[in-house]
Amino acid sequence: MENKFEELVGKLDIFPLSVDILQQISLILKEQDNECLYSFVHKSFDSLLVVERWIWKVLSDDCYSEWNNDEHYQEFFYTFASFNKNLILNNDDIELNIKTTLLLSVSTDQVSSIFKQINQTNNDNDMLITIASLWFDNHSCFIHYNPPSDVLPVTDHINQYILHNYLLSKQYKTYLNELLQSVISQSVFTAKMLFYIRTCSFSIFSYMGANHHKISCIADELVRWIRDDYLQIIHVHSRTIGLWSKELLACMTQLIAFAVVLWCPIGQNKVLINALFVAEQSIYDHIEDLMRIIDYKPFHKEMKPVRSNDETSIIDAALMILMVIVRTQNVSWFFRSNVSIQNALTTLAEAALYDEICLHIYGILSEVLSDEQFKNLKIADSMGGFFFNMLEQAWQHPLKKYKHSQIEHLLRGFFNLSKHDFIQQETANMKKISLFIEMSEQYPIVYDIIWALSFNHDIQQQLRSNPSFIQKLSQLAKESDDEQVRKTTHGILWNLEIDHQDRSISQSTKQNTFDIMISYSHKEKVLCKQLYDELTKSGYRVWIDFDQMH
């Protein structure tokens, strides 16, 4: 088969090109299921790269315009786009460098040419826009799941152009205004409209997820640019989900995803999330709007194990927005008093095939519920095993990830849970503290996790039985260049009652010893201050680092 494929690919540059060549290539690609794809990609890598580059050449060169009205070309492009999407989502065994070479085989000049053609066409349903959107969508999907340590030039070029020429354009605003209508004609959803709202928004979502600093200078402008339209669009259409077309679903999905990266606290910028909600009531209204989407049962039936369709993606994005809200706004009372929201999230967590959805739900509920409420959830018994399974597999993976989730992301998720007593006890019962000790060398956040866990008596005993780790903690508490690591290792040692009298906790302690250490969350600064004041009035020596409260 590989020889036949190579022979067919070698004929792509013959002019005129026989559509039979395209049909035979398409047939071979359709035969590649997940079981044989690894072998096929490795054996046919050079030929696949030729096809990838040929397609970008055809799309970017207006001399090839004859394909625009040829259904055989179009079918070939759809088939290859589907092949690429499968390569991105379902084949973790294929090396990342191979995927990168194949999927990002486009030049900045070719991208510029495609944008130029999109801008110049008078046909809002030009097939070029539709096919190019498929390739840009796959580019975005790949970057989302495989964020590079340094942004690639072509990715930077694509998204900077999209940001300044499409998202901040009057045309984008016009399309948003059309989405504000409660009843939208199907004719509104042209290829160009979907390119602006779906493809461009998705591209920025994937780009900003790993490169938030790239747009930090205009983030405030972006928030104010779409804020009112975004909130109103979600408010209007969350009440009529059953009437959504697949095109409206696609637009709603990417608008919510775009909002995620604007207000996600990657940069810990609480000002931006506050700029979204100009009135307190709008926060609760938006939570209810998002919950209507999240709790829509027909979406649950369509959920996939990966973010491969709009039903899975919109639930994932809506949960990410909720996570931002609960971490930046004082809304715990709203969730604690609303049993229907708790039940809806719990039911979704039980049904979800996509692990990220469970991660978001656990994170949201752990932030807003009391320890008693949290441990009484029907999903509570499975949380510990869920996380430990993913963490252990990610730790053993050469790229330190579980499926598409990086281990750092999983550790942040477990950190949110580690403050709860029943999670601490489950960690002790399963004897997983050794796993965190092993990971602490590479991931500083693990010290924060161990500090939270070390309030548990059984965890304390397990830590004390590891003298080499205790010695390491003592050394880090004195010598680490990372202030947060010094703080957390001091906290662990304090909980273990090791060397209380001799060690310095921080510069502000001035060698004093303490009766009480207050552990706090970022949303409880006022409460911590009140506790501190009352305890010190009663004569207790209290350690609380106000400089670290945020």
pLDDT digits (tens, 9 = 90+) for 166-179: 999 999 999 999 99
DSSP structural state of residue 405: E
Q: Report residue 517: phi and psi, to 5°.
A: -115, 130
- Whether the pLDDT of residue 280 is over 80: the answer is no
Does residue 155 sit within a domain?
no
Contact 322, 334 (CB under 8 A): no
Number of domains in the chain: 3
Lowest mean pLDDT among 142-151, 298-307, 327-336, 421-430: 142-151
Contact 140, 203 (CB under 8 A): yes
Does residue 405 sit within a domain?
yes
From residue 223, give the alpha-carbon distance in Å to each of 17, 214, 219, 266. Answer: 48, 15, 6, 15
Contact 391, 411 (CB under 8 A): yes
Q: Say yes or no: 452 and 537 in one domain.
A: no
For residue 350, the model assigns a pLDDT of 92
pLDDT digits 0-9 by tens, 442-469:
999 999 999 999 999 999 999 999 999 9
The token pair that represents 408 in the structure block: 């750092």
Residue/partner pairs of 147-150 with CB below 8 Å, 24 or more apart: 147/209, 147/210, 148/210
Going by pLDDT thresholds of 50, 70 and 90, the confidence category of residue 268 is very low
**Across 381-386, average pLDDT:** 89
**Prior bond of 298 cis (ω within 30°):** no
Please identify, among 105, 124, 142, the residue that sits at the C-terminal boundary of a domain: 105
Strand partners, 406: 401
Mean residue pLDDT across the chain:
87
**Among 358, 336, 337, 331, residue whose Cα is nearest residue 347:** 358
For residue 62, the model assigns a pLDDT of 78
For residue 485, the model assigns a pLDDT of 92
**Which value, in Å, is the radius of gyration of the alpha carbons in the chain?**
26
Percent of the chain with pLDDT over 70: 86
From residue 410, give the alpha-carbon distance in Å to each of 102, 373, 406, 446. Answer: 29, 23, 7, 11
pLDDT digits 0-9 by tens, 323-365:
989 988 889 999 999 999 999 999 999 999 899 999 999 999 9
Q: Which helix (H) or strand (E) holds 528?
A: helix 525-537
Strand partners, 319: none
For residue 446, the model assigns a pLDDT of 96
For residue 455, the model assigns a pLDDT of 92
Q: Say yes or no: 497 and 411 in one domain.
A: yes
Q: Say yes or no: 479 and 402 in one domain.
A: yes
For residue 231, the model assigns a pLDDT of 94
pLDDT digits 0-9 by tens, 195-242:
999 999 999 999 887 665 566 667 778 888 888 999 999 999 999 999
Q: Say yes or no: 440 and 473 in one domain.
A: yes
For residue 533, the model assigns a pLDDT of 62
For residue 220, the model assigns a pLDDT of 76
For residue 510, the model assigns a pLDDT of 42
Tell how far CA 293 is from the center of its chain.
18
For residue 210, the model assigns a pLDDT of 64
How many CA atoms within 13 Å lie on the side-chain side of 535?
Answer: 16
Contact 166, 174 (CB under 8 A): no
Give the integer Cα–Cα distance in Å for 547 and 550. 8
Q: Say yes or no: 495 and 391 in one domain.
A: yes
**Among 322, 310, 109, 80, residue whose Cα is nearest residue 194:** 310
**Across 379-395, average pLDDT:** 92
Decide: residue 530, CB within 10 A, 0-12 exposed, 13-18 middle, 19+ buried: exposed
Q: Say yes or no: 431 and 523 in one domain.
A: no
The token pair that represents 204 in the structure block: 């920025």
Does residue 48 sit within a domain?
yes
- Whether the pLDDT of residue 512 is over 60: the answer is no
Does residue 36 sit within a domain?
yes
Does residue 428 sit within a domain?
yes
Q: Say yes or no: 419 and 477 in one domain.
A: yes
Does residue 319 sit within a domain?
no
For residue 277, the model assigns a pLDDT of 66
For residue 163, the model assigns a pLDDT of 93
Give the integer Cα–Cα distance in Å for 456 and 284. 36
Q: Say yes or no: 519 and 446 in one domain.
A: no
Give the integer Cα–Cα distance in Å for 485 and 446. 10
The range of the structural domain enclosing residue 45 comes to 1-105
The 3 state secondary structure assigned to 94-126 is CCHHHHHHHHCCCCHHHHHHHHHHHHHCCCCCC
Q: Say yes or no: 423 and 529 in one domain.
A: no
pLDDT digits 0-9 by tens, 397-444:
988 988 878 899 899 999 989 989 999 999 999 999 999 999 999 999
Q: Is the whole model's pTM more than 0.85, yes or no?
A: no
Give the integer Cα–Cα distance in Å for 290 and 321. 8
Decide: residue 31, CB within 10 A, 0-12 exposed, 13-18 middle, 19+ buried: exposed
**Among 134, 409, 102, 354, residue whose Cα is nearest residue 94:** 102
Does residue 401 sit within a domain?
yes
Q: Say yes or no: 15 and 35 in one domain.
A: yes
**Among 304, 217, 322, 349, residue whose Cα is nearest residue 260:** 322
Please identify, among 105, 128, 148, the residue that sits at the C-terminal boundary of a domain: 105
- Whether the pLDDT of residue 539 is over 70: the answer is no
Lowest mean pLDDT among 305-309, 502-506, 519-523: 502-506
Measured over all CA atoms, what is the biggest interatomic distance in the chain, rounded to whole angstroms?
A: 91
Q: Say yes or no: 54 and 80 in one domain.
A: yes
Going by pLDDT thresholds of 50, 70 and 90, the confidence category of residue 548 is very low
- Whether the pLDDT of residue 501 is over 50: the answer is no
**Across 120-136, average pLDDT:** 96
Does residue 95 sit within a domain?
yes
Going by pLDDT thresholds of 50, 70 and 90, the confidence category of residue 248 is very high
Give the integer Cα–Cα distance in Å for 450 and 301. 38
Going by pLDDT thresholds of 50, 70 and 90, the confidence category of residue 266 is very low
Going by pLDDT thresholds of 50, 70 and 90, the confidence category of residue 14 is confident
Percent of the chain with pLDDT over 90: 63
**Among 347, 343, 255, residue whose Cα is nearest residue 301:** 347
Q: Report residue 442: phi and psi, to 5°.
A: -100, -25
**Among 230, 233, 237, residue whose Cα is nearest residue 275:** 230
For residue 547, the model assigns a pLDDT of 41
Q: Say yes or no: 464 and 440 in one domain.
A: yes
Backbone dihedral region for residue 499 (phi beyond 0: left; psi -120 to 50: alpha; all else: beta): left
The token pair that represents 292 in the structure block: 């209507």
The three-point CA angle 383-386-389 to 5° equals 145
Contact 265, 207 (CB under 8 A): no
